[in-house]
Amino acid sequence: MTSDVTAGRAPSIRDVARLAGVSHQTVSRVLNASPSIRDETRARVLDAMESLQYRPNRAARMLVTSRSRAIGILTSNRVHYGPSSSVMAIEEAARAAGYAVVTASLPSSEPEAIIAALDHLLDQAVEGLVVIAPQTRVFDALASLSIRVPYVTMQSTERDEWHALSVDQITGARIATRHLLELGHRSIYHLTGPQDWIEAEARMRGFLAEMSDWDVPTTAPILGDWTADFGYRAGKELLRFRDFTAVFSSNDQMALGFLHAVRDAGLDCPGDISIVGFDDIPEAAHFAPPLTTVRQDFPELGRRCVALLLGQLEGEPGTRTPSCRSSWYGRRRRHRLASARASAPRSRQPLPTRDGVELTASRGRVLH
């Protein structure tokens, strides 16, 4: 008796039900695609929804199902190509699966900041977490909060194998390293990312493994912070001695800075010093000289993250492998991949490909 025509309130299933001449439960069944609804009834309900501009109340559904259908992304606040692209892909994949994405970025890597960010996400009742950040620290913070939410990262750690993700950074790093070795380089420096980034560690491991396979002695990797500024400073420092002929940088930004230092030293990049980067950021082809780098399929990585996470959310916790292949998701993914490929106007020639990683020779130029 209370609610009249155009109340201030948003329409609820009861409003729809009244208009369609059915019970609110029937409306609910239509919403949930229950099979036991006559087509004619369903049509009437849908009409009523349409004319009322009905939108299900997320809060109410959440309350009763105690599922938020939201996942959280915890990112470092540094703006890098890889993480950003992954976030986009994660968001799209999650949306396609009917999940919302809530982000929290880390103003710093202090434990308190991490805990605050996690707390924020948990307040949003996220059902799962994708971590694109210093992973070991986040893991510690999660443990300290003692709240168990499924989460995935871009790469597995020793501590919990089941979060593994298979774009294989180790292989990518090996490819990059092998490339330099095949060019004849025997003293190669490695610029790595922050230690507690799993990606950095994996790439470093790949580098060391490949060097070891070739029986080439290595110097200690240089711990960087992903930035071009660091690459530049490192280059300035290392070039004072010139006890090397090649550098494998863990990402393209640091490689850019290093290139800068090489130019500053009056040296020639393909000639005197070879550099290989990692990530294949869109700008890499326009560095001076164009950078040889290892392409990472970040969107694919993001999509796999979501698939893995959703597999854990929907299936029983513990399974891990087949979740990536659940039918509805596989279909969408294939579609997206196809369209992405069609729209890519890249002019570089891919070199040997292997599980989502490839080495690119920038603009066809011989590798440097």
Provide the binding-site residues for DNA, judged by CB under 7 A: 2, 9-10, 12-14, 17, 21-26, 28-29, 31-32, 34-38, 40-41, 56-57, 60-61, 63-66
Q: Binds 24, which of a second copy, DNA, none (CB < 5 to 8 A, cut-off by type)?
A: DNA
Q: How far apart are the first and last CA of the chain?
A: 79
Q: Identify the H or E element spanning 359.
A: strand 357-361
Rule CB under 8 A: is residue 87 a binding residue for a second copy? Answer: yes
CB atoms within 10 A of CB 219: 13
Is 263 a binding residue for a second copy by CB under 8 A? The answer is yes
Which helix (H) or strand (E) is 336 found in, with range?
A: helix 327-342
Q: Which of 44, 174, 203, 260 binds a second copy (CB under 8 A)?
A: 260
Continuous H helices in 53-186: 58-65, 81-96, 111-123, 135-145, 169-182
Q: Which region among 36-44, 168-176, 255-263, 303-311 touches a second copy (by CB under 8 A)?
A: 255-263
d(CA 321, CA 64): 31
Q: Which span sits near a second copy by CB under 8 A: 116-124, 181-189, 272-280, 306-314? A: 116-124
Q: Which residues contact 249 (CB under 8 A, 6 or more apart)?
A: 190, 191, 231, 255, 258, 275, 276, 277, 278
**Rule CB under 8 A: is residue 143 a binding residue for a second copy?**
no
Q: Determine if 28 is a binding residue for a second copy (CB under 8 A).
A: no
Q: DSSP readout, 279-331?
A: B--TTGGGSSSPPBEEEE-HHHHHHHHHHHHHHHHHS-BTB-SGGGG-HHHHH
**Residue 192 contacts a second copy per CB under 8 A:** no
Residues that bind a second copy (CB under 8 A): 10, 53, 55-60, 62-63, 66, 68, 70, 75, 77, 79, 81, 84-85, 87-88, 91-92, 95, 100-105, 107, 117, 120, 122-125, 146-147, 227-229, 231-232, 253, 256-257, 259-260, 263, 282-283, 285-288, 290, 336, 345
